Amino acid sequence: MSVITVNNLSVMYEKECVFSDISFSVEKGDYIALAGPNGSGKSTLIKTILSLVKPIHGSIFLFDKPLGDFKDWNKIGYVPQKLNLSQYFPATVKEVVAMGLVSKQSYFSKIKKVDLERIDYLLNLMEILQLKDKNINELSGGQLQRAIIARALVSNPELLILDEPTTALDPNTRERFFITLKDLNMSDNVTIILITHDTGGAGQYAKKLMYFDSKIVFYGTFDDFCSSESMSSYFGYNSQHIICHKH
């Protein structure tokens, strides 16, 4: 089953073409590192797939359903690159994580015990369980980022999309976070797309690399990338070697 299918997708932003005629698919259980230079359209590509940006051309299917008909949003967890939060929003960490359940809940249903337990489990996984009753305005950038990641995971998503999720994390936490993602992918078969600039680092965990620069420069396994002559000529032998050495 395809989790994402993109056909001939084109997006314009203020009359400028961001990318055009992009086609690819993501299969169940994939773990893809999406890399590329700044301004190459990685985040726009993801936002278009998530219906946050309207394409001018092309079609998108999520879990084999056309994007316009797709209703099972609880299958998708998303961590954006930037958050536009109100500085004064009155909510505890636990309440923010529970907001990730909004698409699963009916009008008057209370949060189930099993969901409360999962919230605690995820906060523990993100190492912020001790902060669960703290107001989000009192968190550091890294702590808030971990709360948002827990929010993305709370509905047991089948597809997890993370846009540079580790920018505010210290190296040790980042390392443990990548291990957690790999576990989710390996044990729970969660499909993951991770936008990152650390191509070499992501290679230690992700199964595939998509290098995007207004077009798909490369999409395949890290092994294929490392043995690709065309990638040697595109990146230069040294850059390819650095990525592959880390991998």
Partner 1 sequence: MTQGYLNFFDMLSYGFAQRALISGTFIAILCSVLGMFLVLRKLSLIGDGLAHVTFGSVAIGIFLNVYPVYVAIPITVLSGFGILKLIQKTRLYADAAIGVVSSAGVSIGILIASVAGGFNVDLFSYLFGNILSVSNEEMFLSIILSFVVIVTVILFYRQLVSITFEEELAKVSGIKIERINNILVFLISITVVLSMRVVGIMLVSSFLILPNVAALQIARSFSKAMFVSTTLSVFSVVFGIAVSFSFNLPTGATIVLINLLFFLITSFIKRTNFLK
| SS3 call for 8 | strand
Reference 216, options 21, 4, 17; nearest CA is: 21
Question: Which residue type, as a one-letter code, is found at position 63?
Answer: F
From 1, 38, 69, 84, residue interacting with partner 1 (rule: CB under 8 A) = 84
Residues 5-64 that bind partner 1 (CB under 8 A): 50-52
Q: Which stretch binds partner 1 (CB under 8 A): 24-32, 59-67, 71-79, 115-123?
A: 71-79
- Strands laid side by side in the 208-212 sheet: 76-79, 159-163, 191-195, 31-35, 208-212, 216-221
Burial (CB < 10 A; 0-12, 13-18, 19+), residue 36, is buried
Note whether 237 binds partner 1 by CB under 8 A: no
Note whether 68 binds partner 1 by CB under 8 A: no
Per the CB < 8 A criterion, the answer to whether 46 and 161 are in contact is yes
Q: What angle do CA 95, 144, 246 make, to 5 degrees?
A: 130
| SS3 call for 69 | helix
Note whether 102 binds partner 1 by CB under 8 A: yes
CB of 21 to partner 1, least distance (A): 25
Note whether 85 binds partner 1 by CB under 8 A: yes
x-marked contacts with partner 1 along 120-149 as a string, rule CB under 8 A: ---------------x------------x-
Which one, 160 or 184, has the nearer CB to partner 1?
160
CB of 233 to partner 1, least distance (A): 38
Reference 180, options 125, 142, 128, 132; nearest CA is: 125
Note whether 100 binds partner 1 by CB under 8 A: yes
Q: Which residues bind partner 1 (CB under 8 A)?
A: 50-52, 71, 73-74, 76, 78, 80, 83-86, 88-92, 95-96, 99-100, 102-103, 105, 107, 135, 148, 151
